[in-house]
Each structure stands twice: as C-alpha cells, then as structure tokens.
Amino acid sequence: MAMETTTIRFAPEENTWIQSYADFCGKTFSDVVREAALEKVEEEADLEAYAQALEEDDGVRYSMDEIIHMAMRTQ
C-alpha cells in the first residue's frame, strides 16, 4: 500500500512520550500514531452505527431457548 506523508505537530513532551511508548512496543513513531488515529476513527464509526441501531430497535428480544427453537424449525 502506498503511503502519504502527513505533518502532525506535537509538543516536545508529547513527542517524547509517544516515542518512548513506540520504543517500548518495538514500533515506529509513525506506526503508533497511525494505529491510534485509525482506532479512534473506527471507534467513532462503531458508536455511530450503535446509535443508529438503537434508533431502529423495535424492542423485540428472544431468549436463547427461543433462538434454538426457531433454528430447529428452519432445518
């Protein structure tokens, strides 16, 4: 995958903290920042999907026994 270069500014102490973490994990500074940014975006997308699912929820719930019974009827 082709990578693009992006500039992000950190305070010196933030830079040191991130670099120390990267060194501890055996990763590059870029890997740590990239993974953190992507994880945050994924979390936000998951929260949005969850909120939408709650809006569409009809309130119907099934017990495990009911699910097993329904599954057996379709076989």
What pLDDT was estimated at residue 1?
84
Q: What is the pLDDT of residue 74?
A: 83
Q: Identify the pLDDT of residue 75.
A: 80
Burial group, residue 29, by CB count within 10 angstroms (0-12, 13-18, 19+) = middle
Domain boundaries, the chain: 12-73
Q: What is the pTM of this model?
A: 0.71
Q: Which residue has the tokens 């719930």?
A: 61
The pLDDT profile of the chain, 75 residues, written as one tens digit per residue, is 899 999 999 999 999 999 999 999 999 999 999 999 999 999 999 999 999 999 999 999 999 999 999 999 988
pLDDT at 72: 92
